Amino acid sequence: MLTMRAMRGLPAVLVMLAGLVLAGCTTTTVTPEYVSKPQEPATGVAIGELTADNELWALYLPYLRAGLVAELRESNAFAQVYDPAPETLPAQTVLLTGRLTEVDRGNRAARWIIGFGAGRAKARGAFEIGGTDGTSLAKFESWKAYSGGAGIGGADFLDMEDLVQELGKETAGSVVRWSKGQPLEPPRED
């Protein structure tokens, strides 16, 4: 029988257990191909053409765009976020374009049985930041992987639509960091 003292700590234990069960292991990788520092501060960003290397992946493009737009607006790094991009870019506005280069659902059984990254789901894209004059200011690859939840592998709490949307958010974070003269890569968590 539980004492009153033990009962008081029970909600905290339940919250921690729920967090552990619902936690999913995602990783983010950003690989710069070409980066130049912004010559002048960008006050606006426009989301241009987003494509997919495989026509079957086109259904994920709205999720990629939604992640980009949401994170760019939430960051408050730009006075204006244009979606879609206007025909003529306003001064001090950069154009972000990209393409999905890989969408892989992974293997749910491998995530459950083996864990440790086996069977992980992946979404990858190639992106470019361009200036108002059409020059390329930065090119980079961004990818997001999901290894499952509940510790070692485990249940899927993130579907492919969510993973692609998270890819959009991470990519938007790279654009924000670039606009501040920082590296495209997310800061390391040591």
Cα(48)–Cα(86) distance, integer angstroms: 9
pTM: 0.80
Instruction: Decide: 77 and 176 in contact? Cβ < 8 Å.
Output: yes
Number of domains in the chain: 1
Q: Is residue 145 part of a domain?
A: yes
What's the pLDDT tens digit per position in 162-180? Answer: 999 999 999 999 999 999 9
The region of weakest confidence among 7-21, 35-49, 101-115 is 7-21
Structural domain for 175, as ranges: 25-179
Question: Would residue 155 count as lying in a domain?
Answer: yes
In a domain, 146, yes or no: yes
| Residue 47 · residue 85 · CB < 8 Å | yes
- Indicate the DSSP class of residue 24: E
CATH number at residue 171: 3.40.50
Are β-strands 24-35 and 136-149 bridged in parallel, bridged antiparallel, or unpaired? antiparallel
Two structure tokens written together for 70:
């949401």
pLDDT tens digits for range 18-36: 444 444 567 888 999 999 9
- Please indicate, yes or no, if residue 4 is contained in any of the structural domains: no
Q: Where are the alpha helices (DSSP H) in 40-159?
A: 61-75, 108-113
